[in-house]
A and B are shown apart, each in its own frame.
Chain A
Amino acid sequence: MSKKANKVIEVDAVVVKFAGDSGDGMQLSGSQFSDTSAFAGNDLATFPDFPSEIRAPQGTIAGVSGFQLHIGHKEVDTPGDQADVLIALNPAALKANMKWVKDGATIIIDIDNFDNKYYKKAGYIEDPLGDGTLTGYNVVKAPITQLSKSTVKDLGLDSKSAERTKNQFALGILYWLFNKDLKYGEEFIENKFGSKKPLLAEANKRVLRSGYNYAETVEALRTTYQINPIKDRKGLFRNITGNIATSWGLLAAAERADIELYLGSYPITPATEILQELSKRKHLGVKTFQAEDEIAGINSAIGASFAGDLAVTSTSGPGLALKGEAIGLAVITELPLVIVNVQRGGPATGLPTKLEQADLMQALYGRNGESPCVVIAASTPADCFHYAFMAGKIALEHMTPVILLTDGYLANGSELWKLPVISKLPEIKPPFVKDNSDYQPYERNPETLVRSWALPGQEGMRHRIGGLEKEDVTGNVSHNPLNHEKMVGLREEKVQRVANYIPELKVSGEDSGDLLVVGWGGSYGALISAVKDCQGEGKKISLAQFNYIKPMPKNTAEVFSKFSKIVVCELNMGQFANYLRMTFPEFEYLQHNKIQGLPFMISELKEKFNQILEA
């Protein structure tokens, strides 16, 4: 096709936001454009932002679904603070997103939906196209709905299906604007609808091309942008979301331990995808059990663990609360168990689709009795794979429940992932015993304090365990006061000794300086971007991002001691900061907290860091 662009500008990175009604296919469009950018060799990070209702009233702010995508020629760590390009399919989408758009950004609107009826629904009093709201922006008023429909009118689709192709029209405009090859978009559509719905595949492909062709003719889009492939990167890559990476990390752990994977879960936003993904993997031997509730999910997993599987339960905050008692059962029976908690805003039902890091204290202490377990946190969508793998490895080798914390932002967000070679991942060696050994269920490895694991079916090792306090070594029921104190101590010490098997804490930046930024888990992207920016400005600032929370890396205090100031940044009221105060009271901790259901913005972090540095 002919390209009539007058000007192609090379840029390092660009942030695009898709916004429309929650039935408009914004998530699909986002994924499609992400994949295309990944194939074109760009680095990327994405963030879907959708309401918890499936189809909130059409045209209202509550019903706006968004997908933000940051693509770059260099390393991209976050989905971006603000968008360079906004696609708004209706006035509500425009209104909801104006504050997340850069000055001078390109705003593409579906003019067919910009009328009085929709203005009212969106809560506009005046016509936003005429009242100066959009002054200073490059606005493209495209008749997206109308042109999409006419593109497919001879295909005989019903009018609803025809209208639904409009997301592809908007995408087509983007393919033009960013010089992306339509081939990838067409392949995506083919994979999505494929042979099952050939008519829809054809319609979507046509509309995608129609949008592209339309863009060629529009005056406001004379300038197009080129984001070159990222350099200094070699190997096999793919785009991956956190929930899929978590699922696959668990599969990898089972494979490296050479045992079966069992998942007992109950659907809950934003963790459900893990259950969905693993239930598709029967061909790899996975057993999934959709339980009647959260409690049955984890208890069935404990049963599966007793029987010898790598047992997992996945959930979000409310589900973790329901699982508390059973986590204690896994603690006292000293069985391997992975609990994945994809955090969301709380308390109670809270903000199901929004981001928060407020389950840290629950993960550490939210159970009756002295109930220690390992707590780790993933920090990017792709590294969910690594930390899910490590959760499995630690659970199996240390005979302990491990809580893996991710969050809705990691779970649904995506980034490029350099593929590992599964057979080269570390081997996992659970402490199995041989048949007819002289088995004592609570005899421990003196180095790790880990008990050994005899499985039902094995000869000569019939034994009983359960939730009543165990006698040291034999595992018989015991109410002896001194035995209880000893066992409480042993369980805690066993978890602490996991510190001998995890990496030391590394800082990004110099090992000493004026300010150490401390974060944990999913805030990594924003924190590292802000810290790097400040470093670029010559500031003596470094980042320590924690993935291992209980136990913490052994060199933590040493790392802290090299900085004049420490600021702990987290999306809660200061849970990690308080945990640090408790564990290392010798340091003073400043805090930066945000509890809006939203991630940190790089700009707000930089402002905070500069304020501290100047104080």
Chain B
Amino acid sequence: MAAEIKTTQVVTKADYKSDQVVKWCAGCGDFAILSAVQSALAESQVRKEDVVFVSGIGCSSRFPYYINTYGFHGLHGRGAAIASGVKIANPKLDVWHITGDGDSMAIGGNHFIHLVRRNIDMNVILFNNKIYGLTKGQYSPTTPRGSITKTSPDGTIENPFKPGELVMGAQGTFFARVVDTEPKRMKEVFLEASKHRGTSVVEVLQNCVIFNNRIHNEITGKDVRDDHQIHLEHGKPMIFGKEKNKGLVLRASRLEVVIIGKNGITEKDILVHDVNNPDDTTHYMLVRMTLPEYPVATGVIRFCDCTGTYDAELELQIEKAKAKPEVKSLQELIEQNSFLVE
């Protein structure tokens, strides 16, 4: 049942503040994400009754309680499936799925990749703090190999997932990465995600102040971030570094970091970011970049409208079927192959 669209309302950030006490730990990165989402929604001027937040389980998944929209706090790992049902049932809704690295990479890993593969039109914010917070400090599927945690006292012996690789592997059409210490960029990326038609996955490198404090400091620290992060912008050369003198080039099918001005390299040699390229080869390489060889890519890495969305195509199939129905009504359907006994 779709509601009427009324266009007259002006929405402000305050409209999205809920009356519930926010129960995240003091200093948690989640606060900044919440604020950036509220700002992005106000800026997008989407009708506030159409916004639905769906989450799984974990610290991040308490999010729907703290934002004044329609909200659904689901089961561990199942937020993607619940959100899929909401969007398919009513494609007019603006659906956001909030999840974490445990919720979407472990128990909900299967739902996550299938959501991306189906390209259902929704925005996924994946809070990646590389640890289980709500259960108090066990390693997650994104925890770096060798990490000592409560359940890996001798160090983990598993390779971590990079969420972006799963997105690319599932033929994702949108992937972005941001850090929780940069509210303005977060808001901009969320706005980009909401503009994209299809499953838009935003990985937020989020700090867990209690169980994994400073896990992203090598990327987000003020002293290192310019050299350890490359913020990608569509149409602009892939340049980074304090001195803005480092860049990415493609050599022998692999990315390479070069210094502009050295070995005859000029700005013209540097790769230009094409966020819309249907061919995801470069996007995939950008997603995979890790320290120390590479900077970590942030910003919108992939934004492609190359395939239709599941929800819109289903609506289209239904429209087509209704225009040329096999039978006009349920009554007619049940009466097929019937016979009258008198």
Contacts and interface: CB of A to CB of B under 8 A. Distances in A.
B135 interface: no
B341 A326 contact: no
A332 to B, nearest CB: 10
B71 interface: yes
Contact of A300 (B73, B82, B324): B82
A11 B195 CA distance: 72
Interface in A297-313: 297, 299-309, 311
A456 B271 CA distance: 44
Given A239-B337, A457-B50, A476-B20, A296 B86 contact: no
Contact of A260 (B89, B321, B342): B89
A194 interface: no
Interface residues of A, number: 74
Interface in A193-248: 229-230, 233-239, 248
B49 A456 contact: yes
B318 A238 contact: no
Nearest to A262: B89
A458 B93 CA distance: 11
Contacts of B75: 299, 325-326, 329, 467
A304 B89 contact: yes
Q: Which 3 A-B pairs have the closest CB atoms?
A: A466-B73, A303-B85, A457-B3
B132 interface: no
Given A304-B89, A464-B71, A236 B340 contact: yes
Contact of B65 (A264, A289, A477): A477
A465 B338 contact: no
A459 B54 CA distance: 19
A308 B90 contact: yes
A461 B73 CA distance: 17
A295 interface: yes
A235 B322 CA distance: 29
Contacts of B338: 236-238, 419
Contacts of A237: 338-341
Given A229-B341, A237-B341, A419-B338, 13 more contacts: A236-B340, A262-B89, A283-B324, A287-B314, A289-B85, A299-B85, A302-B82, A422-B334, A456-B49, A456-B90, A457-B92, A466-B55, A467-B73
Interface stretch (A34-42, A102-110, A175-183, A576-584): A34-42
Contacts of B72: 303, 306, 333, 464-466
B89 A308 contact: yes
A320 B331 CA distance: 31
A423 interface: yes
B309 interface: no
> In the complex, which of the residues B1, B55, B333 has the most CB atoms of chain A within 10 Å of its own CB atom?
B1
Interface in A273-318: 280-285, 287, 289, 291-293, 295-297, 299-309, 311
A255 interface: yes
Query: Which interface residue of B50, B57, B82, B318 has the most chain A CB atoms within 10 A?
Result: B82
A92 interface: no
B26 interface: no
A41 B52 CA distance: 54
Contact of B3 (A251, A304, A305, A455): A455
B70 A303 contact: no
B84 A251 contact: no
B258 interface: no
B330 A303 contact: no
Contact of A303 (B49, B54, B69, B322): B54
Contacts of B64: 464, 466
B81 interface: yes
A467 B81 contact: no
A308 B85 CA distance: 10
A457 B5 CA distance: 9
Contact of B333 (A248, A301, A309, A460): A248
Contacts of B216: none
A303 B82 contact: yes
A468 B50 contact: no
B93 A234 contact: no
Given A39-B339, A455-B3, A458-B49, A284 B88 contact: no
Interface in A454-482: 455-468, 476-477
Contacts, number: 212
A233 to B, nearest CB: 5
B18 A464 contact: yes
Contact of B70 (A296, A326, A464): A464
B335 A422 contact: no
A421 interface: yes
A262 B311 CA distance: 13
A259 interface: yes
Which of B73, B80, B326 neighbours the largest number of chain A CB atoms within 10 Å of its CB? Answer: B73
Q: Which of B64, B90, B336 counts the most chain A CB atoms within 10 A?
A: B90
Given A262-B89, A302-B82, A308-B90, A465 B340 contact: no
Contacts of B48: 462
Contacts of B334: 238, 248, 419-420, 422
Interface of B: 1-3, 6, 18, 20, 48-50, 52, 54-55, 57, 64-65, 68-75, 78, 80-90, 92-93, 110-111, 114, 314, 317-318, 320-322, 324-327, 329-331, 333-342
A85 interface: no
A406 B120 CA distance: 33
Contact of A459 (B3, B18, B83): B3
Contact of B86 (A229, A238, A307, A468): A307
B70 A235 contact: no
A252 interface: yes
27 contacts: A41-B339, A236-B335, A260-B89, A262-B85, A262-B88, A280-B326, A283-B321, A283-B325, A284-B325, A284-B330, A289-B88, A291-B114, A292-B110, A296-B78, A296-B114, A299-B81, A304-B85, A306-B86, A307-B90, A329-B74, A422-B330, A455-B1, A456-B50, A457-B1, A457-B50, A460-B49, A477-B65
Nearest to A282: B321
A301 B86 CA distance: 8
B164 to A, nearest CB: 20
Contact of A235 (B69, B83, B321, B340): B340
Contacts of A463: 70-71
Given A39-B339, A457-B2, A300 B81 contact: yes
Contacts of A468: 73
A35 B314 contact: no
Contacts of B314: 287
Contacts of B55: 466
Contacts of A284: 325, 329-330, 333
A420 B65 CA distance: 46
A296 B54 contact: no
A307 B54 CA distance: 12
A423 B48 CA distance: 37
A457 B333 contact: no
Contacts of A301: 85
B342 to A, nearest CB: 6
Contacts of B50: 456-457
Nearest to B66: A464
Nearest to A244: B334
Contact of B1 (A41, A234, A259, A264): A259
A457 B90 contact: yes
Nearest to B55: A466
B86 A303 contact: yes
Nearest to B90: A307
B81 A295 contact: yes
Contacts of A264: 81, 85
B63 to A, nearest CB: 10
Contacts of A255: 330
